[in-house]
């Protein structure tokens, strides 16, 4: 089985390590409302949500458009696989560090507990560039569903890790999550307020095989 990589920032890596994060949300592309008009199988506003299930099916399955025409745009492949597939976590790291196991240092392990920033001056490599051999965290997909971002429930927020990993008790869970989401996605045009369609991916942590 080929592992797929999935990026998490340092705070989310810490939540996975702590066992408080078992779910993540990623923007669905293309967004359903960007699809050609008039195709009843691809219009999320006609209450026909059959196309959502295609997001988790193999590449060779497509849905039929108006008049029975094959519509490639009606079919999404989940970039993180389907239930049962495995992911490796791509996180900020640095290779060739003396004193670290296998010469690998991970940013999530080297934050100053006083909150003063990194405990050393290492220049971390972005998780986007982490190869599979450098990964230490592995996940198995347990569920994939498509929904509006604002349909996130309190249980979802717990699964996202937002009841414990952020210390600011003055903010509600939703505000914390919305602020975090906006910090990553607002500039891309997918703010919390815009209610984008997202893939909600549930997972469990496993050992490397």
pLDDT along the chain (209 residues), means of 10: 88 93 90 50 40 43 42 58 90 88 88 53 86 96 86 91 62 84 95 91 89
Whether residues 139 and 108 share a domain: the answer is yes
Kindly report the length of the chain: 209
- The predicted model scores a pTM of 0.77
| Rounded-to-integer distance, Cα 111 and Cα 117, Å | 6
Whether residues 136 and 113 share a domain: the answer is yes
Whether residues 112 and 174 share a domain: the answer is yes
Residue in 42, 28, 47 with CA at minimum distance from that of residue 71:
42
| pLDDT the model gives residue 121 | 59
Whether residues 71 and 83 share a domain: the answer is no
Whether residues 111 and 42 share a domain: the answer is no
Whether residues 129 and 191 share a domain: the answer is yes
Number of domains making up the chain: 2
């Amino acid at each position: 089985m080929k592992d797929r990589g999935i990026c998490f920032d340092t705070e989310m890596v810490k939540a996975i390590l702590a066992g408080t994060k078992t779910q993540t949300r990623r923007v669905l592309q293309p967004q359903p409302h960007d699809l050609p008009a008039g195709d009843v199988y691809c219009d999320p506003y006609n209450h026909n949500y059959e196309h959502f299930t295609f997001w988790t099916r193999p590449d060779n399955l497509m849905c039929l458009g108006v008049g029975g025409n094959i519509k490639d745009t009606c079919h999404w492949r989940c970039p993180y696989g389907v239930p049962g597939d495995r992911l490796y976590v791509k996180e900020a790291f640095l290779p060739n560090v003396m004193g670290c196991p296998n010469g690998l240092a991970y940013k999530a392990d080297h934050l100053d507990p006083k909150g003063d920033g990194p405990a050393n001056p290492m220049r971390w490599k972005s998780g986007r560039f982490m190869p599979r051999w450098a990964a230490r965290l592995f996940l198995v997909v347990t569920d994939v569903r498509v929904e509006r971002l604002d349909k996130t429930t309190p249980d979802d927020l717990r699964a996202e890790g937002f009841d414990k990993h952020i210390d600011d008790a003055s903010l509600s869970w939703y505000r914390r999550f919305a602020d975090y989401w906006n910090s990553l996605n607002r500039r891309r045009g997918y703010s919390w307020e815009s209610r984008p369609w997202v893939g909600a991916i549930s997972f469990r942590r496993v050992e490397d095989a």
